[in-house]
Amino acid sequence: MYSWQGASGRWYEFDVARAKRAWEPVGGIYMFVKPHSQPSQDWGGPICLFIARTDDFSVSLARHDMWQAAENLGAGEIHLLAIKDDQTRARVEKDLLDAQSPILNRNMLRRVA
């Protein structure tokens, strides 16, 4: 588990996946994350490189077109937060995007996976 803070100040608890796996067919928010670079230090925490929402993790994460770019930037984890309601997913995604401003989301047309 890892907690990310949104622009609203609210904290969200994400599950952390470090390897490819069979993804659950549920909706939610996912992030491609560069892991903590200095685990023995308090600074240098994980860096969110990409955030998106989906109706189905198993479809969106099977062959994601942004994973290679994220991996090239050091991504080694996928953080997942299951959220059933689409309106809640949209609100949480915006809250996290406003706070984290991931490099791979900048200047990108908004889309839903």
- Whether residue 40 lies inside any domain: the answer is yes
CATH of the domain at 10: 3.40.1440.10
pLDDT tens for 8-61 read 999 999 999 977 777 889 999 999 999 876 655 566 679 999 999 999 999 999
- Whether residue 112 lies inside any domain: the answer is no
Range of the domain at 50: 2-100
- How far, in Å, CA of 52 to CA of 78, rounded? 11
- Whether residue 66 lies inside any domain: the answer is yes
Question: Hey, which bits of 27-105 come out as E strands?
Answer: 28-34, 47-54, 77-82
What is the value of pTM for the model shown?
0.85
Cβ(9)–Cβ(25) below 8 Å = no
- How far, in Å, CA of 73 to CA of 76, rounded? 9
- Whether residue 42 lies inside any domain: the answer is yes
- Whether residue 106 lies inside any domain: the answer is no
- Most distant CA pair in the chain, distance: 39
- Whether residue 108 lies inside any domain: the answer is no
- Whether residue 107 lies inside any domain: the answer is no
